[in-house]
Copies of this chain bind each other. A is one copy, B any other.
Amino acid sequence: MVVSSSHDLSRRMAPIDRFGITELVVQRIKELLESGALKAGSRLPPERELAEMLNISRPSLRTALKALSVMGIINAKPGAGTFIADSLPEVFTEPMHFMALIHNIDPREMFEARRIIETGLAELAAERASAEDLQAIKEQLEGMKRAIGNTDQFLEHDIHFHQAIARASGNKVMSGVMDTIAQLLYEMRRQVVKRTSDFEEAIAWHERIYDAIRRHDSKRAKEAMAGHLHAAELTWVRETKAKANYNSRRSSRRRSR
CB distance from A102 to the nearest CB of B (A): 5
Bound state CA distance, A105 and B170, in angstroms? 11
Main secondary structure of the interface of A (DSSP, over half): helix
Does A70 contact B22, Cβ atoms closer than 8 Å? yes
* Interface segment, one of A84-92, A230-238, A246-254: A84-92
> CB-defined interface of A155-191 with B at 8 Å, one 1/0 digit per residue?
0000000000000001111101100010000000000
Chain B residues in 8 Å Cβ range of A64? 66, 70
0/1 per residue, A52-68, Cβ < 8 Å to B?
Answer: 00000001001110111
B63 contacts A113, C-beta separation under 8 Å: no
Which residues of chain B are within 8 angstroms of A39 by Cβ–Cβ distance?
102
Neighbour of A98 across the interface among B23, B66, B91, CB < 8 A: B91
Whether A34 is near chain B, meaning CB under 8 Å from some CB there, is: yes
Indicate if the CB atoms of B99 and A91 lie closer than 8 Å.
yes
A120 interfacial contact with B, CB 8 Å: yes
With the chains together, A106 CA to B71 CA distance in Å?
Answer: 22
B63 near A109 (CB under 8 angstroms)? no
B40 and A112 within 8 A (CB): no
- Classify chain A's interface size: 35 or more
A98 to B30, CA, bound (A): 7
Hey, which chain B residues are within 8 Å of A62, CB to CB?
63
Complex contacts, A84 vs chain B, CB 8 Å: 102
Check B105–A95 contact: CB distance below 8 A.
no
Q: A146 vs B154: C-alpha distance in the bound complex, in angstroms?
A: 57
Min Cβ gap A165→B in Å is: 14
A202 within 8 Å of B (CB atoms): no
Q: Which residues of B contact A88 (CB under 8 A)?
A: 95, 98-99, 102-103
Residues of A with Cβ closer than 8 Å to B? 20, 22-23, 26, 30, 33-34, 39-40, 59, 62-64, 66-73, 84-85, 88, 91-92, 94-99, 101-103, 105, 109-110, 112-113, 116-117, 120-121, 124, 170-174, 176-177, 181
Smallest CB-CB A-B distances: 5 pairs: A116-B120, A91-B95, A67-B67, A67-B70, A33-B101
